[in-house]
Structure 1
């Protein structure tokens, strides 16, 4: 585990921000062993251990005593450790092994690909000639649906836990995200990704000890740009973050990395978050910021959700059906596939697009095919389980399962962006985003705050 202070970086105890109780969402703690430093001016890093150089921007991540850091550079802040935030439903989400479903699981269970008309899009392109980086918890390279698209040579571990790019422990979040982008159906018996012919690069930023360091995320963004990734998917984030004090520094360095990536042609597709939060109206709240027993009133855009509200971000909200497992017919559901998910963050200027990420009504517990009916409204794709082999050693066994979240919506957009780039190889990152936005439409009966430009339309974007 990394060294962190006992003091939480996000001090908003008990406050209700944008419809959520702060403290129930992502927490971030300051690290005492690593720092993000500006390399401008007379910075001298010779007495420090450089963890990430981040060529292309004027920042680096270093390890050392704060006293030495203070002597070596003019501007710095402690690195921070961020925990992954997912809807509670994922804690009990079943896998295909729990069901009695027979046949190719990609045929019926992937309502997200059906609603996006991905098979029709594949008549034009499957993402050939593109590269997508998945900045997440690692991608299982032995999964039969990910072996072909995964570029093992470029995949990299950005943490300091000593492992390789593969996931550690039982965290299959990144494997699920990668499958949504690029699963290639494992020779005809698995699941489908939106861009199965893209070159998939795994950038692991979540460590064996838990959490992801902000500095590792920044380094992965810069790396993605420097290996000419056309798209980088970030199904991660921290909310709420103050725009004041240290928040100004973190926002500045993040914007520097994101602007650099955009300039280099890498479109950053980022999950909007799973707090049911109105990111557009998160002011006017009474919060005891300094723990003096008196509340202060927040105003002037106090909070920001990072990295999805950073510069050049394509922020993705989540949608999903309710009742798909009762009929396996998207025309016969309680709520359509393009309706806002109960957990998704929203906000008119904080969301760029909406896409399938899964929804749920936890009361739909009656079993269908051996699993609760609500599970079929989640997104189905690649996962793995951890089992013990005959020698008692643990091994990661590839499989398939359900998850929900803006974490699942973002890779649907990332895969679509790869298809647009494949069809239009001369497009830069802004042109790819513009094509996706132009093709999208806000569904009837729902507000723009849940959709930005609208619901993802892959076929028309091509």
Structure 2
């Protein structure tokens, strides 16, 4: 039976937390719906074609890094995820007493978080750490990283800010290095303080938290979403094949970076693949890059890892904007232009607001110094001319006297 998921609101004592996604794309999946299990995608998805994977993996494959996927669970029946998931660290946070409209108890899946009837969490996990296998070009960006499966939501939106906070705290206890959250609070409502406290606890433990910015960008909507808007969380928007913001992607000053989010091929429950759209699938793309950096630079802080991702992103402007943050993530640059860690991103190519050089003064009239210099020149030149004139006059007078004496001598000889 085909499964789809949708963004819905559920009545709850706590703030509802909704999955972030859009309907599947038939262009990429050869189907108008995701089916579980799905057909194997034989080619290399466009989101991976834009990356030189051999060059990337020569730097890091994510080994030793633990990534918590707080979502709808992760189905380990997909062969590409079986060896990627740490079953022992997983947990199911869904309320076991919830019932459907007919009063029937809802099935919540396994306690270890490895049941996923929605498919959302399985797709997210695959983008991060799916293992290579024959017959498909799809693979996770960090194929040696380990996934911690935390089931916290379902297709009916029964997840809340409280259960999300519990899942984050469990991820901290299980020593996660990166946490991926492809969810946000309904209608951008600021949730319970318990969620803020859980986020702050994880950040204090130097865990990188990556969260989807949201899909309410159509019509130019600009609003904060949670947990993406919390300080210290890396909020991820979606980009398309042209490295531009996807039309649905949420905008706002809280957006830290963008990543591919259109026609995103990934793993589905039971095996095979499917394509989907949304910032839900942009966030794990960035979480995968964070895992690669953490594996290569084990002593880097979370701030340095986030700054590295932002600094090396592809940009259309020098600095930050509300559409794609610091730009579209570039995995290879993030792993190769890493000579030393930075604490925060700066305008591209070192452009900053430095002071302009002082222009040379323009004098419209003669200064006193220039006038004195001119007069001194006149005096020197004039003095030289006067000396020359006097010398010339003296010579002329001498010559005239000599001629007079010669003429007088000649006259005396003639008389004698």
* Structure number, greater radius of gyration: 2
Partner of 2:58: 123
Shift of the alpha carbon at 1:252? Answer: 3.0
Q: For residues 198 and 28 of structure 2, what CA distance do their matches in structure 1 show?
A: 37
**Matching residue within 332, 339, 344 for 2:244:** 339
1:154 aligns with 2:101: no
Secondary structure in structure 2 of the residue aligned to 1:418: helix
Report how far residue 117 of structure 1 moved. Answer: 3.1
Q: Residue 341 of structure 2 corresponds to which residue in structure 1?
A: none
Residues 1:445 and 1:195: Cα distance change in structure 2 (over 3 Å): same
Q: Does 1:215 align with 2:162?
A: yes
- Is the aligned partner of 1:139 residue 2:74? yes
Q: How does 1:301-340 map to 2 (within 5 A)?
A: 304-321=224-241, 336=242, 338-340=243-245
User: Structure 1 stretches of 5 or more lacking a match?
Assistant: 1-23, 32-78, 283-303, 322-335, 359-377, 385-396
Cα displacement (A) at 1:130: 0.6
Q: Distance in 1 between matches of 2:156 and 2:324?
A: 35
- Corresponding residue of 1:232: 179
Report SS of the residue matched to 1:135. strand
Query: C-alpha distance in 2, partners of 1:129/1:263?
Result: 20
2:16 partner SS: strand
The alpha-carbon distance between structure 1 residues 80 and 319, as it changes in their structure 2 partners (threshold 3 A), is: same
Task: Specify which structure has the higher proportion of strand.
Answer: 1
Q: CA deviation at 1:265?
A: 1.8
After TM superposition, the structure 1 = structure 2 runs for residues 223-372 of structure 1, keeping only pairs within 5 Å, are 223-242=170-189, 247=190, 250=191, 252-276=193-217, 281-282=222-223, 304-321=224-241, 336=242, 338-347=243-252, 349-358=253-262
Inter-CA distance 345–210: structure 2 relative to 1 (3 Å threshold): closer
Find the aligned partners of 1:447 and 1:257 in 2 and give their Cα distance.
28
Partners of 1:190 and 1:152 lie apart in 2 by: 26
User: More helix by proportion, 1 or 2?
Assistant: 2
Shift of 1:227: 1.4
Q: Secondary structure at the match of 2:89?
A: coil
> SS where residue 433 of structure 1 aligns?
helix
With over 3 angstroms needed to count, the CA separation of the structure-2 counterparts of 1:208 and 1:443, relative to structure 1, is closer
Q: Is the partner of 1:145 in helix, strand or coil?
A: helix
The reply on whether 1:381 has 2:269 as its aligned counterpart is: no
RMSD after superposition:
2.9
Separation in structure 1 between the aligned mates of residue 256 and residue 303 of structure 2, nearest angstrom: 13
Give TM-score, length-normalised by structure 2.
0.68
1:191 pairs with one of 92, 113, 138 = 138
Displacement after TM superposition at 1:167 (Å) = 3.0
Secondary structure of 1:430's match?
A: helix
